[in-house]
Amino acid sequence: MVDIKDINKVYFLGIGGIGMSALARYFKFHGKEVSGYDKTETPLTKQLVNEGIPVHYDDNLELAPKDAQLIVYTPAIPKGHTEFMYYQQNNYPLLKRSEVLGAITRSSFNICVAGTHGKTTITTMVAHILRHSEYGCNAFLGGIAVNYNSNYWSNERDTCVVEADEYDRSFLRLTPDVAVISAMDPDHLDIYGTTAAMEDAFIEFAGKIKPGGVLISKFGLPRGKDLKAPNQLTYHLNNTQADIYASNIQMQHGTYVFDVQVKDWKLTNVVLNMGGLHNIENVIAAVAIAHRLGISDEKIKAAVEAFRGVRRRFEYVIKDKQITFVDDYAHHPEELRALITGAKGLFGNMKCTVLFQPHLFTRTRDLATEFAEVLDMADEVVLLPIYPARELPIPGVTSNTILDKMKNDHKQVLNKEQLLQWVKEQPGGSSTNTGNGWLLITAGAGDIDTLVQPIKQIIEKK
């Protein structure tokens, strides 16, 4: 294995991925020469270019640096990719993102957050509390922290807060001092094959915790009793059997005030300016970690109140009395359930419309019944065609696979152009059939986020 400290020129294949871009920023911060390839230009790749990291979008050997000393690649890069094959055939050091992250964090104090959902928000909350309180950390996030408009930052303290991704078993490269497991619902079955095999990987991840370390896991996880760690704590929104839970929860139009109970310690009147009860559950895990690190009560509370969220995690696009427009990355049935439940809990009188873009053919095929059941919670649903990401189409698997299983009569599949036209034809918040306004939700992990601003502009012109 190459010694990362000796590397001066790094090239990224798939630099626009959220985890890859954090690593690119890490190397740039440490004075290395960094460049990359991705298949499409995005706001994130534009930002990287503005930060001095060149990015190109053609699979073109002439644009690929021949003097790169390390090639970092994402598992999503097709094996027939010309540049990838060139580097492979010419014996360049080729490492997956997870291998590089494992090497970077090998000797640091690591807080690693895993789970099939919730991990990005918890990771960002932990890193934000450590930064805001001036405790300090190095952060490798799976989303853009709104407070800092970045997914990476650095600090002289040798503490790393890392999103531990279960895809492709990446998180098994990490060595946590503190580990979080937020959920173990079936996902990535294209990689794992069975739910049991995926759960086995989480059990193995818990086994990576260093001696004296701690596991903080969601209370009631499937096979939770199989998770072994030197020290263990459980957390839950409001189940008092858990070691960590919230109490005295009050709602105030998108803001929550609550207490956090951690065994023999209590933090009162915590203010969270973020929607969704699931985000209270996320933040109590982060609060427990901060308390364990010795951060003072007042600093924890100030940090939580100042937290502005993660881009595309229950992100308010419009929020007024007639229309509330929320954008979210939810792409698994349980994430959608938390999103819709949370939104309706806060804005229950409004007509709830969900615009959802399914992500991956395999996930749609494997979880179509669950998606249909959750989407039926909305008053109205519009599905976009499946976003394929790294996959080729599967015959017979389309967004209609979900639509046909839904019981809701107010449902349809539209392409992007049709969807924008449909939004133009909607009456707007004050004249919806409930008379109480419109709760509009866009959700999905594909490129539905490119429609958020166009939809916002249409609504604001009404």
Residue set of the binding site for ATP: 115-121
Q: CA-CA distance, 34 to 32, in Å (whole number)?
A: 6
Nearest Cα to Cα of residue 166 among 150, 145, 181, 144: 181
Q: Give the single-character DSSP code of 5.
A: G
Q: CA-CA distance, 258 to 126, in Å (whole number)?
A: 18
Beta strands 244-252 and 255-262 are antiparallel
Answer for the pair 6, 108: CB distance below 8 angstroms, yes or no: no
Cα radius of gyration rounded to whole Å, the chain: 22
Q: CA-CA distance, 250 to 88, in Å (whole number)?
A: 56
Amino acid making up residue 3 = D
CA 342 to chain CA centroid, nearest Å: 17
Q: CA-CA distance, 437 to 203, in Å (whole number)?
A: 45
User: Which residue ranges are tagged as binding site?
Assistant: 115-121
Q: CA-CA distance, 308 to 272, in Å (whole number)?
A: 9
Answer for the pair 143, 18: CB distance below 8 angstroms, yes or no: yes
Classify residue 417 by burial, with Cβ atoms within 10 Å: 0-12, 13-18, 19+. exposed
Q: CA-CA distance, 182 to 122, in Å (whole number)?
A: 9
Q: CA-CA distance, 76 to 262, in Å (whole number)?
A: 40
Give, in degrees to the nearest 5, the angle at Cα 171 between 109 and 121.
Answer: 75
Q: Where do we find the tokens 């349809």?
A: 412
Give, in degrees to the nearest 5, the angle at Cα 202 between 332 and 109.
Answer: 110
Alpha helices (H) along 376-415? 399-403
Answer for the pair 162, 177: CB distance below 8 angstroms, yes or no: no
- Number of other residues whose CB lies within 10 A of the CB of residue 200: 14
Answer for the pair 18, 44: CB distance below 8 angstroms, yes or no: yes
CA 394 to chain CA centroid, nearest Å: 26
